Amino acid sequence: MSFAGLVPVMALAERAGLSELISAKVEIKQSRVKSAAVNPAGKLTCIIAGMAAGADSIDDLDVIRSGGMPRLFGGVYACATLGQFLREFTHGHTRQLASVARAHLVRLVQCSGLLPGIEAQAYVDIDSLLRPVYGHAKQGASFGHTKIAGRQVLRRGLSPLATTISTAQGAPVVAGIRLRAGRAGSGKGAASMVVEAIGAARAAGAVGEVLVRGDCAYGTSAVVDACVRAGVRFSLVLTKNPAVNRAIAGIAEDAWTPVHYPGAVVDPDTGELISDAEVAEVVGFTAFASTTHPVTARLIVRRVRDRARGDELFPVWRHHPFLTTNTEPTAQADITHRRHAIIETVFADLIDGPLAHQPSGRFAANSAWAICAGMTHNLLRAAGTLSSPAHAVARGATLRRHIVAVPARLARPQRRPVLHLPAHWPWARHWTELWHKVFVPKTGPPAPA
């Protein structure tokens, strides 16, 4: 078999109660095909196992039936059966599955040490992306704005909205993912997503400070009000308007201070930073004054020279304001805010894995597929955390290659299943560490061939 690493990975999923949560929360009472909705726990578990093995389409889920996999795992379904099951999903069923994803994340944190340091401080990031589709039969597919090579373009696709939870020491995990039509605005549904992500962070052990970060699409009255009601801090980019422009214009020239970003390059001739970014603060700025929920907080503005205008008589600056209740000093608050880009690493992992395609023509099926992709990301992240510190922050492709895609030979001496792993395997020690932490001590690791 080619994916013996699925044994400890899926055992970790069951240790966190995956099948139990699905059986308790997901129920399809009416279905077009009578047998399609049977055993949702077994079918969703098969989908997640296939994604962990590298499947990015429904046909690729057949990887869990290759070689000796059916002898190792019980209740393995054919990919056609799994596709038929996904097509039975509705919006209500995807909401049930989203609840399973949040509860499973909380249990993974409890049983694997995922998100170290979450009790002190946690970061909730929100962002969206546009996944292109090309078939005309895709429900919900429409033209939306995306950026390619620095240019705004219209592209036909579907738009997932995702939230992540991360810590200063822990890599980000998916708190929630919601599929929307391609033409949906980036901030549509953001407030409810933020509330759900904050609830998941609190349930996972975030008893200290929680900071919600987002770009200008989420610097709205609804999102800020949701953060205030939940009792968390926020750091959200504001869209420029007359009030923001007046506040920026009122900043004195001597109030701007250079900011030293981690990894910034120093000019060897002058000894100064090549980056010319500067920050300043407007204390007590009132945002959304025309709404029923005005908010007074710190307005921190970052400015950089406009390099497109190199021959100007006076320097031309581009200003980037964000509203925050972060209590850090101005420069450090700006650095913390810009680390919001960590959510892009999650998007890169998902696109390089299960979200490479939107496999079904039905919108709800693709929505369920996206949620399963987020659950798979969290499961692999937890398995990497149990393996080694290096794997705790590794990319999804690296985790699949080092932990899951392990060839093995299944033998049954004295009717006892034994996995024979390859000899002189570079990651045998990390894989064995995962095995010992997932299974009880009496279960010995597979023997090298």
> What one-letter code names the amino acid at 108?
L
CB-hemisphere CA count at 13 Å for 129? 20
pLDDT at 207: 95
pLDDT value, residue 321: 96
User: CB–CB of 131/138 below 8 Å?
Assistant: no
Extract long-range pairs of 14-23: CB within 8 Å, 24+ residues apart: 15/111, 15/438, 16/104, 16/107, 16/108, 16/110, 16/111, 16/112, 16/382, 17/103, 17/104, 17/107, 18/45, 18/48, 18/100, 18/104, 19/45, 21/100, 21/103, 21/104, 21/107, 22/97, 22/100
Written in H, E and C, the secondary structure of the chain is CCCCCHHHHHHHHHHCCHHHHHHHHCCCCCCCCCCCCCCHHHHHHHHHHHHHCCCCCCHHHHHHHCCCHHHHCCCCCCHHHHHHHHCCCCHHHHHHHHHHHHHHHHHHHHHHCCCCCCCCEEEEEEEECCEECCCCCCCCCEEEEEEECCEEEEEEEEEEEEEEEECCCCCCEEEEEEEEECCCCCCCCHHHHHHHHHHHHHHCCCCCEEEEEECHHHCCHHHHHHHHHHCCEEEEECCCCHHHHHHHHCCCHHHCEECCCCCCCECCCCCCECCCCEEEEEEEEEECCCCCCCEEEEEEEEEEECCCCCCCCCCCEEEEEEEECCCCCHHHHHHHHHHHHHHHHHHHHHHCCHHHCCCCCCHHHHHHHHHHHHHHHHHHHHHHHHHCHHHHCCCHHHHHHHHHCCCCEEECHHHCCEEEECCCCCCHHHHHHHHHHHCCCCCCCCEEC
Query: Which residue type sits at 204?
Result: A
- The span from the CA of 316 to the CA of 293, in Å, is 35
Q: How far is Cα of residue 71 from the mean position of the Cα atoms in its chain?
A: 33
Q: Which residues of the chain have pLDDT under 70?
A: 263-275, 307-313, 440-449
Q: Which residue has the tokens 């340091």?
A: 117
Q: Tokens 């993974």 correspond to what residue?
A: 108
* Tokens found for residue 66: 């290759």
pTM: 0.92
Q: Which residues contact 443 (CB under 8 A, 6 or more apart)?
A: 435
Maximum C-alpha span of the chain: 86
- Residue 273's pLDDT is 59
User: Is 317 in contact with 303 (CB distance < 8 Å)?
Assistant: yes
Distances (CA, A) of 137 to 15, 215, 422: 39, 32, 45
Strand partners, 122: 210
| CA angle at 265 for the pair 264 and 271, rounded to the nearest 5° | 120
Tokens of 218: 């989420």
The values of phi and psi at residue 427, to 5°, are: -110, 25
Of 62, 42, 35, 39, give the one whose Cα is nearest residue 50. Answer: 62
Burial class (CB in 10 A: 0-12, 13-18, 19+), 310: exposed
